[in-house]
Amino acid sequence: MQFTFQAAVPAFAIAIATIASGDVVKLRSGASIDGKILKQTDRAVWVDIGADVVQVDMEQVDSVTREDSGAALQPDVSQLFSTAKDLPTLPPKELAKGLGASVIKVSTPGGLGSGVIISPDGFAITNAHVIQGERSLRATIWVRQPDGSLKRTDIDDVEIEAVSNSLDLALIKLKSPDGKPFPVAPIEGDDSIEAGQRVFAIGNPLGLERTLTEGVVSVPAMQLDGRTYIQTDTPINPGNSGGPLFNMRGEVVGITNMKITLGENVGFAIPARYLKDFVRHREAFAFDKNNPNSGHFYHGGPPRPQPGAPSELEDGSSKPAVVPPRAIPGSDSPNK
């Protein structure tokens, strides 16, 4: 038998749940249901309490604690990032509680952007254009305190590890202020993005720190300048650049990097597959301040004031070659 509750969870269901153990669903009313979570979406959660299966509307849920939640991440030291397996689907408000501390603000003398920590050692991803031409970086993190609050902390010891201007990705490393591991956000492993899929971004648009915006995937692979991007209607603004785009399992599916300014909610994110390839081959993109192809941007040459071929240079090197006239058989005049 399965019970479905949309308004309130009856007291008898909570009483039955007290004999079970394992996963815990805490309700906004203050009560809790202990049992085995069979399924969870962003709209409802199904809990096996022994005698019955209880379906609870997520609007009633304050928090969800899973017995096996600590074993979800699968870090790979050689790749510097983690993936996850069998993560539950949760609403953004629930995911933000755990993921918020992995999102950072990246500040330079020329502006600011966002980033996401992918390694407990402090490796983080941001956009190349956020740190373009800069060497002095500052990262702002939010450290979780014992009471659950977040303490704002600035880190001035930030190193640029790798930069790819073509991918618009940069790998930076932060030094832990207290020597403790950093909280990380998992990267999506299967690259299963679909149109209409719900996603949300956390970043610092216009300097408004730790702002969460939500939307859907408009197009999973939109081609722009020979590369595919995730198009989303999630509001993306200056300051979001370099920040993560999450799915409803709390995995990073993309790195937000641009929007169409003349449109409404037409934003784009770099797919996670590019991010993973960039990190795996970070040696090829290693930052070197003496390498003009790394971490620097060169403007194109000025346009010609008039169309057509360039005029003759002073040294005569661009003077058109003189082609002798070619005679046409049976004609007394040359063909010009």
Lookup: tokens for 14: 């909570």
Q: How far is residue 16 CA from its own chain's centroid?
A: 42
Give the DSSP letter of residue 262: T
Residue 216, CA distances (Å) to 16, 95, 187, 222 in order: 38, 16, 18, 14
37, 44, 35, 40: which is closest to 13 by C-alpha? 35
The HSE-up count of residue 281 (CA atoms within 13 Å, CB side) is 10
241 catalytic residue (yes or no): yes
168 is catalytic: yes
| 113 membership: H or E segment, kind and range | strand 111-117
Residue 71 Cα distances to 35, 67, 186, 235, angstroms: 18, 9, 12, 33
What are the distances in angstroms from CA 174 to CA 154, 195, 276? 10, 35, 19
DSSP 35-88: EEEEEE-SSEEEEE-SSSEEEEEGGGEEEEE-TTGGG-EEEETTTTEEEESSPP
Annotated catalytic residue, options 23, 107, 129, 218: 129
CA-wise closest residue to 164 among 293, 276, 255, 291: 293
Active site residue 296: no
61: β partners: 27
What ranges in the chain are assigned the alpha helix state H? 11-17, 92-99, 272-280
β-pairing, 2-5 with 53-57?
parallel
| Coil vs helix vs strand at 222 | strand
Task: Return the active site residues.
Answer: 129, 168, 241
